[in-house]
Structure 1
């Protein structure tokens, strides 16, 4: 959305010009029909403006409530909301905002390995620095290992389809590995924690390569 911010003032100008044109058309129609006075047309224009502003404001406020805490996954009703965006192949999450308090709490509660070592976790479609910073800030267990050598006990997969390769698709597109926990919004997966282990390192190389861009 931030990339479109410079366009908004010009969209407002175009919207205002369009509304004025609509009001003038109504004025000409009513002048011919002699059904309304200019003052009544002006009132209609004000009502249209106020109604449009209230509808836009109401949709925005409603979206803030409904999309909590995945605000960056908002898609407007013109594309069918988040579910419609997923059906159309849009990225439903991408900036790591799905790594929220609930995910952190789940990671902090993971049990140690049978030998007493802390669990190893490999983030996928998610930059490992996000997790490292959370450890530095004391929000995430300092003993969790995100930079260990494979095999990993768990994989934490952000559902950012544009970053998917064979390892990511081996988890998201198959049911080969159990899901420890998955976070959804309106039925759309945002992020998921999988129990993987050594079997995953043997499985994901068998996945076919990504299709060429445009042929997904």
Structure 2
């Protein structure tokens, strides 16, 4: 397997993709409302880790090598809720906060972190797709990933979903390039360990590689995987300061928390018109959500890419014990296919929870974008003869333009995007899919209305995880302090239309009472304010 990154033309294109992606994300940073996970724990964790890094630097420069790793220090900065997930994703957010906080403010600085990660992801999709197809198809796959509304939305949010998506793809990229130079082997090992230190999803990375090695046996690759996994565990420890003290009890607590998460942390998920516990959602959930949330043209080419990969896989399985040779491109195609779908059965079989739309299987989408690139490549070479580049570029431009229109149409409600196959947001509601979920529709438009019309009033919220977002906007001085959250005696009720968390009274408001204000996407209310009846 080989990815050519030496050509100057390729380097310039990769740099242009990064700059274009980051500029577009950065310029829209404030449009998308703060999500519950950003407000609940990721902001405070990033600040805590940044304070620890500052303390560590100061004490080390003074020759003190014990304070930063003492039990008291570690418990103070990494204890509480912060150790539930490994810390590296939030440490990356902390670096962004340290570097840019004084320049653009804390919230924007924290969002620069996922914006940079997603921009790099778009570059990696270009490079990997290029090794499987041609320049036009690689550009199309990369830009269409950027313009996937839900991916673009997540590209702003300083949670853990974009960090694990970024780390997963980067680790796979270095594994693919590991035959070229020794440095890529080292980088694969390092980033596999850092992936372990980002989110539990990363445990599937070595499994995806192992499955590929079983299909296409390689002693060298198996040795690299074995060494990488063993050393990755050490890197996981180094990158997780909470494990530096009380190692045995902290490991036991961490493993216990991770293994019981699916059964203990249950969220009601609204799916196909019914409410399910997040650990008991029908097996087809990730497949249906993916089918209905990828823009139609990209989805069609993704299906072509999937069919192409399946043909190679079936051919290989038929000749598993024979000496039939396969090209490096065919082998890489199967590797991408495995990584695109390895999360799906984990969710389908109930080993991981299913809620929050596509968020918990977000790492699949860059690989699906690569498959869309290979599908596009197959299609254009079928309908255009050799050398007809103009026709290929025109078709690519039309696909990219249609994706851009989908994104523009959905902004700033990207996390509520549904494609034409679902009938859009209204069709998704008829099918019985959640209208919105993470609180992103509680944005500047809502806050402006509240600051103008609801000052001195008492507010209650539904499907907003209590007062988390209110407290956060108060903390940063965005929401007027005389607007008070009161769950019992309130003047106004704010409803985030996450059907899985709403009760009969909430639906009565939605269906029978005219709101004072609604944040709407294509005429559908995502977030509404009602006077208490």
TM-score of the superposed pair, with normalisation by structure 2: 0.30
Structure 1 residue ranges, 4+ long, deviating more than 4 angstroms after superposition: 21-24, 46-49
Distance 1:10 1:185 in 2: 26
Shift of residue 6, structure 1, vs aligned partner: 2.6
Distance 1:10 1:181 in 2: 38
Shift of residue 23, structure 1, vs aligned partner: 4.5
Q: Kindly indicate whether residue 460 of structure 2 is the aligned counterpart of residue 122 of structure 1.
A: yes
Equivalent residue for 1:174, pick from 505, 512, 531: 512
Shift of residue 172, structure 1, vs aligned partner: 1.4
1:1-216 equivalences under 5 Å are: 1-2=358-359, 3-9=361-367, 12-13=370-371, 16=374, 19-20=377-378, 23=381, 41-43=385-387, 49-111=392-454, 118-127=456-465, 128-146=467-485, 148=486, 150-175=488-513, 178-196=514-532, 200=533
Shift of residue 169, structure 1, vs aligned partner: 1.6
1:72-99: CA deviations, max 9, x gaps? 2222222222222222222121111111
Matched residue, 1:211: none
Q: What secondary structure, in the 3-state scheme, does the structure 2 residue paired with 1:90 have?
A: coil
Conservation of the 8 A alpha-carbon contact between 2:459 and 2:487: no
Conservation of the 8 A alpha-carbon contact between 1:125 and 1:168: no
Bigger Rg over Cα: 1
Matched residue, 2:285: none
Distance 2:482 2:497 in 1: 25
Distance 1:149 1:14 in 2: 47
1:162-209: CA deviations, max 9, x gaps? 21112322211333xx4211222211111110001xxx4xxxxxxxxx
TM-score of the superposed pair, with normalisation by structure 1: 0.68
Shift of residue 50, structure 1, vs aligned partner: 3.5
Q: Which has the higher contact order (CA 8 A, sep 6+)?
A: 2
Distance 2:402 2:367 in 1: 20
1:94-116: CA deviations, max 9, x gaps? 1111111110011112356xxxx
Ranges in structure 2 where 5+ consecutive residues have no aligned partner: 1-357
Distance 2:475 2:469 in 1: 10
Alignment RMSD (CA, Å)? 2.7
Conservation of the 8 A alpha-carbon contact between 1:110 and 1:119: no
